[in-house]
């Protein structure tokens, strides 16, 4: 009874960080999506220059720990632009995720059969039109399973923004744990929340995937 | 009767690096012509079609579409391709779009029609190929013959002045070739100018106004079907046409 009561109170406090975790994840995923798709397009269709820009981005970002990117944004860039911890953290996660998403979308773009581009050009589409309305929509669908996996990774990586003081789930958990001296209950509650979030995310993405599956 | 040609090729060459595929092809096509192009595998028939609609432009030589020299520098190639429909051996339908979507996408994106206009015209084109009742099917839900008819409707939607067909029935099961050939015959009767790579000799006899025999990157001989089948001037033409015609008689044709 006591434990249950305790767990509920703890949950009540931690759950206020839930929306922050969700928002950090969503912003990071959207930023990552934009960067990922753009750099993938640059790598597949760009000239030498753009291909190199994209490759450097992808290689450098993937070589650096995400926490370092968060610190760079928060302590260095935030000197010049007004970046809240929330924004610095989510953007950093987004840049990082973009590099991984770029790999996913590059593979997906290359998996679209060449005949699709040929047929699009044959009805008079320009290359840009053909990419935008024929190749990319198919590539996005092909990328969905791998992208869903990346989404759950970003959800878990969102804990990293606690290093700059964003009061998301993990940070709040630590606060409770320090105050009540009951780490088992605090981290148990956090675990339950993450488990729930991850399950929801995979369920939702599974539904999207079934809805938009490409039948070849 | 003399009219202005709709398509004129003058000494067209095409090389891929060291490989010299087309070695000087000249050809004139009048409006309403149905030209059936035959020749052994690897001879450059597909390459020739892809040169004509500039999917891979000639390395040398000139092509006119109506009064415009489309191989001239500075020509808007996308605009040229709008006027030349192309149908491929393996259909190449857009997999993420329904039959209707496949026809509509060119109308909205390239011809800049609004949704309503595009829908109406697309349904009309699907009706032309007898597939209105399959409008909301995805390519994966269509038979090969139906896919190819959607591909024809997609090309027709752009209101092309010439249609190119690259072995439109050779990926189909024998019992499905008829429905596609019928649509093409219908098009020919409506006066569409067509250039068809095909080894369907029955179709060629019925529909072609001219047969062109290509080998080794050259046009060896061309003429009306009767002459080409019954009294070819060139020994190679006779041999080749005999061979594919007998294949067909044995039911082993494409
Ligand atoms: N993109 C390319 N790069 C290099 N070589 C090519 C390319 N496209 C075609 N070729 C070569 O050009 C030659 C003619 O090919 P093409 O596809 O035009 O022949 P075809 O007459 O259509 O034959 P088939 O009846 O088998 O379709 C072949 O030797 C082929 O290997
Ligand atoms: Mg060919």
- How many residues are recorded in chain B? 254
Among B18, B44, B50, B218, name the best residue to mutate to test ligand 1's pocket (greatest count of ligand atoms within 8 A of Cβ): B44
The answer to whether residue B214 scores a pLDDT higher than 90 is yes
Report, as an integer, the average pLDDT of B101-123.
97
Mean pLDDT along residues B15-41: 96
Check residue B1 and give its pLDDT: 52
Q: How far apart are the first and last CA of chain A?
A: 56
Q: Which of residues 126-145 of B touch A (CB under 8 A)?
A: 138-141
Q: Which of A114-118, A132-136, B243-247 has the lowest mean pLDDT?
A: B243-247
d(CA A78, CA A140): 33
Task: Give me the mean pLDDT over the A171-187 stretch.
Answer: 87
* Euclidean distance between CA atoms A189 and A180, whole angstroms: 13
What topology does CATH give the domain A2-212? MetI-like fold (1.10.3720)
Q: Where are the domains of chain A?
A: 2-212
Q: Can you list the domains of chain B with their CATH numbers?
A: 7-252 (3.40.50.300)
* pLDDT value, residue B254: 42
ipTM of the complex: 0.93
Q: Using the beta-carbon criterion (under 8 Å), do B55 and A122 form an inter-chain contact?
A: yes
Which residues from chain B sit within 8 angstroms of residue A113, using beta carbons?
92
Quick check: B92 pLDDT over 50? Answer: yes
- Alpha carbon of B218 to ligand 2 centroid (Å): 15
Average pLDDT for B200-224: 95
- B143-153 pLDDT, tens per residue? 999 999 999 99
Q: Which ligand is nearest to the CA of B166?
A: 2
Residues A46-55: tens digit of each pLDDT: 999 999 999 9
Average pLDDT over residues B234-254: 76
Tell me how far apart the alpha carbons of residues B174 and A20 are, in angstroms, rounded to a whole number.
Answer: 62
Question: Tell me: the pLDDT tens digits for B161-199?
Answer: 999 999 999 999 999 999 999 999 999 999 999 999 999
Nearest residue in B to A129, CA atom: B109
Write the CA distances from A153 to A33, A139, A158, A197, integer angstroms: 14, 21, 9, 12
Which long-range contacts (C-beta less than 8 Å, at least 24 apart) are formed by A76-83?
none
The predicted model gives B84-99 an average pLDDT of 97
Over the stretch A57-88, which tens digit does the pLDDT of each residue have?
999 999 999 999 999 988 888 778 888 889 99
Confidence of residue B252 (pLDDT cuts 50, 70, 90): very low
């Amino acid at each position: 009874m006591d434990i249950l009561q305790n767990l509920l109170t703890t949950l009540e406090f931690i759950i206020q960080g839930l929306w922050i975790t969700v928002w950090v994840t969503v912003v990071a995923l959207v930023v990552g999506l934009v960067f990922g798709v753009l750099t993938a397009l640059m790598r597949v269709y760009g000239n030498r220059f753009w291909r190199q820009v994209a490759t450097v981005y992808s290689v450098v970002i993937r070589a650096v720990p995400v926490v370092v990117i968060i610190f760079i944004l928060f302590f260095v860039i935030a000197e010049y632009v007004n970046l809240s911890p929330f924004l610095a953290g989510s953007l950093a996660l987004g840049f990082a995720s973009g590099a991984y998403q770029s790999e996913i979308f590059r593979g997906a773009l290359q998996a679209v059969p060449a005949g699709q581009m040929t047929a699009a050009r044959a009805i008079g589409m320009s290359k840009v039109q053909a990419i935008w309305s024929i190749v990319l929509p198919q590539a996005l669908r092909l990328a969905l399973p791998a992208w869903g996996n990346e989404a759950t990774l970003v959800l878990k990586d969102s804990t990293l923004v606690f290093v700059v003081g964003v009061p998301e789930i993990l940070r709040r958990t630590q606060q409770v744990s320090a105050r009540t001296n009951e780490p088992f209950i605090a981290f148990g509650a956090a675990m339950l929340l993450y488990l729930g979030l991850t399950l929801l995310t995979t369920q939702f993405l599974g539904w999207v995937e079934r809805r938009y599956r490409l039948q070849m | 009767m003399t009219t202005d040609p709709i398509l004129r090729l003058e000494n067209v060459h095409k090389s891929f690096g060291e490989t010299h595929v087309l070695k000087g092809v000249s050809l004139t096509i009048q409006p309403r012509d149905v030209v059936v192009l035959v020749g052994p595998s690897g001879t450059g028939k597909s390459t020739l079609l892809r040169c004509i609609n500039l999917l891979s432009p000639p390395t040398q030589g000139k092509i006119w579409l109506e009064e415009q020299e489309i191989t001239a520098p500075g020509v808007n190639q996308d605009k040229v391709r709008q006027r030349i429909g192309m149908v491929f051996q393996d259909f190449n339908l857009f997999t993420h779009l329904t039959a209707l979507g496949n026809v509509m996408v060119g109308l909205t994106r390239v011809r800049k029609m609004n949704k309503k206009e595009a829908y109406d015209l697309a349904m009309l084109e699907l009706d032309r190929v007898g597939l209105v009742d399959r409008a909301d099917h995805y390519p994966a839900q269509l038979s090969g013959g139906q896919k190819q008819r959607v591909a024809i409707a997609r090309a027709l939607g752009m209101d092309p002045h010439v249609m190119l067909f690259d072995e439109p029935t050779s990926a189909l099961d024998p019992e499905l070739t008829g429905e596609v050939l019928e649509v093409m015959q219908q098009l020919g009767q409506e006066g569409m100018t067509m250039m068809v790579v095909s080894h369907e000799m029955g179709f060629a006899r019925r529909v072609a106004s001219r047969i062109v025999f290509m080998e080794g990157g050259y046009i060896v001989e061309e003429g009306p079907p009767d002459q080409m089948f019954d009294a070819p001037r060139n020994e190679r033409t006779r041999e080749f046409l005999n061979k594919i015609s007998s294949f067909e008689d044995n039911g082993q044709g494409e």
